[in-house]
Structure 1
Amino acid sequence: MNKPFIRQRRLISSLTLTLLVVVLVVAGCSNNGQSSNSTNAANTGNEQQQSTSAGDAAKEQALKVAISADAGLDQLDAGTYKGSMTVHAMIYDGLVEYGEKGEIKPALAESWEISEDGKVYTFHLRQGVKFSDGTPFNAEAVKFSFERWIKDPANTLNVATSLEALEVVDEHTVTMNFSKSYYPFLTELSFARPVRIISPSAVEPAGDVNGQFVSPIGTGAWMAESYKAEQEAVLVANPYYWGEKPKLTKIVLKVIPDPQSRVMALQSGDIDIAGGQLGKIPVESIPVIEGDASLSLERTPGTNSHFMIFNYDTPALQELNVRKAINLAINKASIVNDLMNGIGSEATGLFPMTVPYVTESNQTWYGFEPEEAKRLLAEAGYGEADGEGVVSKSGEPLELNLVLQQAEFPEWKPFAELIQSELQEIGIRVNLQVLEPNAYYDALWKTREYDLILYRTYDDAYNPHSFLLSLFHATGETPAVVWSDAKLEALIDQAVGTTNLEERQTAYDSIFAQMYEQAMFAAIYFPDDVLVRSQRVAGYKAGYTTFTPIFWNQLNVGEQ
């Protein structure tokens, strides 16, 4: 048994010992004066034991899930960024929960109030909740959890950097006082980590905010049973869980790093579920999966997008017509249908409709119009093409370098090759540069050594505010990463700072309109989230975040 789980199971062990003693005493008493029937009694006992074991086995509802990397249960401290984000969300609850299209729903906090100036939040906690070791959840546990991580300089969440005080009002009420008004405070409190609540008994000495993490003890629907590093992690249902009780009794997370091996494990029945951020399914395997009657392909519109950044320091890309022309030359339908086997959809802006504040009326982007693209280049002063079909201006050919990486996003190579071919058709030469991840991120964040670079937006609860602040807004003396535009930055500040929902929506409408008018990037592709399940898995419903890809509590398993 692994050390992190010792304390949580001591109670179970002592109860088992007590029951064993009782059974032995009763068995001894039963045998007095009954020697002639001892064999029959033993046989009857064995039959009953076998029957009970069979009954227990029949009741067990175990699910096997493929994960691409170790779950890290031995370091799954709620106040850190270590271990699997998905498992964080299964074991630990937050004060609030992220719902469909960003709706913030109650979790450990049943309700809350926000002051008129948007700086004071009062949370009313759910009563009668226990941690998975049976200890009580209360306001002091919230305070303990936050104090363990909130002062760490590495935490850049606004909920951390802006929190001035966290006060316990009574056993079931806490207040948070912030230095500014910022509507995504609640959104950040729904993250999988580090904002979730851990039991004070999960550290040694117990209750010490500086104590050493010992065991992952939360109020979530699941708790750790066993763990083998780089092999598997086993979670079982939390008997004290306050919400909808899981139908499953056990979830086994099996580490399978290779994508094709995950597909084969699905086909053989060694696992029941794979895909999403747990362990992606290769696009080329989709037709095989769709042709397998034992498997079901589950597709859900994702919350991120892939797009192409323009370097605003590149002279040619400072011309609006050139940026528009590049957008108009890219056949996004071909990317979806020919390269991605129909998985996903054409990008119609920076964010898909699954993201808060994105509406049909503010989703406007450029279609596929190569002839219009050629006209815009000519209007921008780019004359006749040379012998290789490249247009030029003032003797300078229109030639751009496109940077990408394949390690994390293998689909980017065919994306880039298609874009290279289509831009050549309108007279722009594109040179592809495939970099290793470290060099790629250095080019993106530090050196800016690219003309064009493929990138992706963040996921679910980080959109749209966090992504916009990270890449379209200056940070101190550092200019914006994607596109530097003072008007856009003012609109972002207005959106995140207002407590008025209508004003916020108006600001986001203006943000998306400004991006379109200035063609600040090239929209490429909206991916779907793809999971594959065995047909024996029932009750499947996709979650609303990458860290909760499935409503685990609703799943059950049976025979195929």
Structure 2
Amino acid sequence: MKRISFTPLRFLAFCCFVGAMIITAGCLGQSAQTEDNVQEDNIQTLIVAGPADFDSRIEMKMNVYDVFLDINANGKPIPGHLVSSWNKSDDGLTYTFQLNKGIEFHDGTQWNASSAAWFLTWCSQGARKNDIAFSKISDVSEVDEYTIQVTLKEPYGAFIKSLSSESNSHVIAPTSVEPAWSNDGEIVSFIGTGKFEVENYVKAQSAEFVRHDPASGEGTLIDRISYRVIPDSYSSVSALRAGDVDIIGVADHHSTVPYEQIPQMMNDPDIIVEKQSYGRYQVVELNCKEGSLSDIRLREAINLGLDRDKMVKELLASAAEPAYSVVSPTYPWAGSLAGTEYTYDPEKAKNLLDQAGWVVAGADGIREKDGQKLTLTYIVPQGEANSDSIAVYIQSELKKIGVDVDILVLESGAAGEERQKGNYDMYLHHSWGVPGLPEGPLTGKYHSTWGSWPVSYHDAELDQLIETAIATGADEDYSAAYLYIQEKYACMPLYDIEKIAAYRKAVKGFTFSASIYGLDLSTVSIEP
């Protein structure tokens, strides 16, 4: 692994390199305009660019699949295309679902009690069995042709919410696994009930979709979607401005549009830029178990030593809102965080470091204790737009209070391995967005045995708070757990990762979904 300590001079050189790549990509884009963008024989094709393989992200799949339950703008589960209603027994163990009629999968398989019962059984025994909600399922039975009953092993307050998760509850056909209808079969084809079906797929390169029912396009909406993988976020901007793609930023829940590019795109008369908040925060997760940051005073100090207002203004073109708490206090399940925000206070940060025994000893201004410099290893996974400039900014800000930050940029897979081993002090990540909130961060990071972050903040009291919140699903219980995490300075929140959609002016009818993972392109049209 190569450690990269970004000095201002090195960062300037990096920017020059990226700029050159952008110019090159732009020139290539201008010469690469082909008939792909031309609508022939009244067939409208929308060209979408995204940073990753179609099968590795859920967003584009949401044009192929429906989720078992829908959600509203507040992240609450509601009936949708597949389920018309449900009820829960008084003891919280039995759920009865009424299914919508007249729906079929792309291959003609009927959506009914048989296929619905198979799906939830497969979730509990097959590829999704490790999901907490599905691991709670004891039995799934058919009541009649369009009614199923699910029995849990124990009450689980977040069960219904979990059925609205695009990641784990998008419904696949029983014929899409091998062997067909097997309760633990492996997925071998993309067959859903969505508006589009997959016509062709080339791993890590592209995917082609065609509207399942051509008549549903009414002759005015797009008939096809062409998805192209463009890993570099600056290159995707160049492709959009060159007219080689129609829309960017929508095919991933990570930040894929560089914020500093937004003003330029907004000044382009041929491009429209929209943004939507889903409560998903960019955060730096901290190693609270080992090393210097196991001391709460240091965790508080680095939070108070970061000027978030200046960060979003100077680096993100004010296109994002700064984050002062682990999740947004505007949600009812996080109302307890109001008044506990991490405000910029470098003098208090220095005092906390002094109290912890870390003092400035040399001309470089870096603090020392027992002959050891206060150096924090900061892992930054590749592929997150805006991460490079943010890393350098954090490095610069913390140096002002005497903390040295060693930036380590790694391929995402390698970064994940280091995370699992706990080989970091700071790690760039994010909070979940709607619908993963509020349970996502609690179960995924901060519960000592449920999550996959072994050196995040854990203790028995927090485990109990989380388990209570998950069992009851009550806003006040979630709020109590988040307040506890906030008071322990378990992470360093940075800013709200608002989802950015940028598209050609000829594209009409695009709207954001209620969920950060949702993407419905069936209502889009392209003007000649």
TM-score w.r.t. the length of structure 1 is 0.77
Q: What is aligned with 2:296?
A: 320
Distance 1:388 1:83, change over 3 A: closer
What corresponds to 1:431 in structure 2?
Answer: 406
Provide the C-alpha distance between the structure 1 equivalents of 2:452 and 2:413, rounded to a whole number of angstroms. 21
CA offsets 1:386-423 (integer angstroms, 9 cap, x no match): 43323445x44550222212522353333232222222
Are residue 67 (structure 1) and residue 50 (structure 2) matched?
yes
**Structure 2: gaps of 5 or more residues:** 1-38
* Matched residues, number: 487
Query: Per the alignment, in what secondary structure is the counterpart of residue 524 of structure 1?
Result: strand
Q: Aligned-pair RMSD on alpha carbons?
A: 3.3
CA contact (8 A) 1:405 1:412 kept: yes
For 2:392, the aligned partner's letter is: E
Distance 1:185 1:122 in 2: 12
Instruction: Say yes or no: does 1:419 pair with 2:394.
Output: yes
Aligned position for 1:404:
379
* Alignment partner of 1:115 out of 45, 68, 89: 89
Q: Does 1:512 align with 2:482?
A: yes
Return closer, same or farther for 1:438/1:288 CA change in 2, 3 Å cut-off.
same
Distance 1:439-1:211 versus aligned 2 partners, 3 A rule: closer
Q: CA deviation at 1:63?
A: 1.9
Q: Helix, strand or coil for the counterpart of 1:432? A: strand
Instruction: Using the TM superposition, give the Cα deviation of residue 478 of structure 1 relative to its aligned residue in structure 2, in angstroms.
Output: 9.1
The 1-side partners of 2:188 and 2:162 are apart by: 26
Q: Which has the larger radius of gyration?
A: 1
User: How far is the alpha carbon of 1:167 from its aligned partner?
Assistant: 0.2
Equivalence map 1:170-319=2 (5 Å): 170-200=144-174, 202=176, 216-227=190-201, 232-239=206-213, 247-278=221-252, 280-314=256-290, 316-319=292-295
| 1:6-21 superposed matches below 5 A | none
Structure 1: distance between partners of 2:297 and 2:461: 20
SS at structure 1 position matched to 2:59: helix
Cα 1:210–1:383 change in 2 (3 A) is closer
**Aligned twin of 1:105:** 78
Q: Which moved more, 1:479-488 or 1:234-243?
A: 234-243
Deviation at 1:555, TM superposition (A): 2.1
* Structure 2 residue 101 is matched with structure 1 residue 127: yes
Contact 2:59 2:250 in 1 (8 A): no
Change (3 A) 1:297 1:324: same
Contact kept in structure 2, 1:349 and 1:363, CA below 8 Å:
no
1:135-158 CA distances to partner (integer Å, 9 max, x unpaired)?
432111112333445313763112
For the residues of structure 2 that align with 1:205 and 1:444, how far apart are their CA atoms? Answer: 36
Separation in 2, partners of 1:169, 1:496? 28
Deviation, structure 1 residue 292: 1.2
Which residue identity lines up with residue 280 of structure 2 in the other structure?
Answer: N
C-alpha separation between the residues in 1 aligned to 2:235 and 2:290? 43
Relative distance call for 1:392 and 1:247 in structure 2 (3 A) is: same
Q: How far is the alpha carbon of 1:366 from its aligned partner?
A: 1.1
Change (3 A) 1:209 1:242: farther
Q: Is the 8 A contact 2:445 2:451 kept in 1?
A: no
Partners of 2:277 and 2:499 within 8 A in 1? yes
Q: CA deviation at 1:542?
A: 1.0
Deviation at 1:452, TM superposition (A): 2.9
Distance 1:384 1:199 in 2: 63
Provide the secondary structure at the position in 2 that maps to 1:92. coil
| TM-fit CA distance, 1:348 | 2.0
In 2: Cα distance, 1:296 partner to 1:539 partner: 12
The offset of 1:211, in angstroms, is 7.3
The amino acid of 1:301's aligned partner reads: S
Question: Offset at 1:526?
Answer: 1.9
Q: Distance in 2 between matches of 1:514 and 1:455?
A: 20
1:483 Cα deviation after fit: 0.5
CA shift at 1:320, angstroms?
A: 3.1
Provide the C-alpha distance between the structure 2 equivalents of 1:104 and 1:249, rounded to a whole number of angstroms: 30
Quick one: which amino acid aligns to residue 197 of structure 1? V
Match of residue 90, structure 1, among 60, 63, 78 = 63
Once residues 513 and 315 of structure 1 are traced to their aligned partners in structure 2, the CA distance between those partners, rounded to angstroms, is 24
C-alpha separation in 2, matches of 1:241 and 1:163: 39
Q: Secondary structure at the match of 1:116?
A: coil
Change (3 A) 1:380 1:243: farther
Distance 1:287 1:478 in 2: 38
- Give the secondary structure class of the aligned counterpart of 1:159: helix
Aligned partner letter, 1:538: K
Distance 1:505 1:281 in 2: 33
Cα distance change of structure 1 residues 94 and 337 upon mapping to structure 2, 3 Å threshold:
same
Matched, 1:57 2:41: yes
Residue 111 (structure 1) shift: 0.3
Query: Contact between 1:237 and 1:250, CA under 8 Å: does it hold in 2?
Result: yes
> Per-residue deviation at 1:481?
3.2
Q: Which residue of 1 aligns with 2:315?
A: 339
Structure 1 residue 487: deviation in Å? 1.7
- Segment drifting more, 192-201 vs 161-170: 192-201
2:444–2:450 contact (8 Å) kept in structure 1: no
Return 431-440 or 263-272, whichever deviates more: 431-440
Instruction: State the TM-score, normalized to the length of structure 2.
Output: 0.82
> Could you list the per-position Cα deviations for residues 466-502 of structure 1 after superposition, in whole angstroms to 9, with x for gaps in the alignment?
3211211111799853102222221111100015xxx
1:227 is displaced (CA, Å) by 4.6
SS of 2:111 mapped into structure 1: coil
Alpha-carbon distance in 1 for matches of 2:435, 2:286: 26
* CA apart distance, 1:166: 0.4
Structure 1 residue 361: deviation in Å?
5.4
Give the aligned residue type for 1:309. E
1:377 aligns with 2:353: yes
In the alignment, residue 250 of structure 1 is paired with which amino acid? R
CA apart distance, 1:317: 3.0
**Residues 396, 315 of structure 1: alpha-carbon distance in 2 compared, 3 angstrom cutoff:** farther
**Residue number in structure 1 paired with 2:495:** 525
Letter in structure 2 aligned against 1:374: K
Q: Which runs of 5+ in 1 are unaligned?
A: 1-54, 72-81
- Per the alignment, in what secondary structure is the counterpart of residue 351 of structure 1? coil
In the TM superposition, residue 86 of structure 1 has moved relative to its aligned partner by 2.4
State the secondary structure of the residue aligned to 2:268. Answer: coil
Question: CA 1:373–1:182 in 2, change beyond 3 Å: closer, same or farther?
Answer: same
Q: 2: distance between equivalents of 1:363 and 1:213?
A: 48
Does the Cα contact within 8 Å between 2:214 and 2:223 map onto a contact in 1?
no
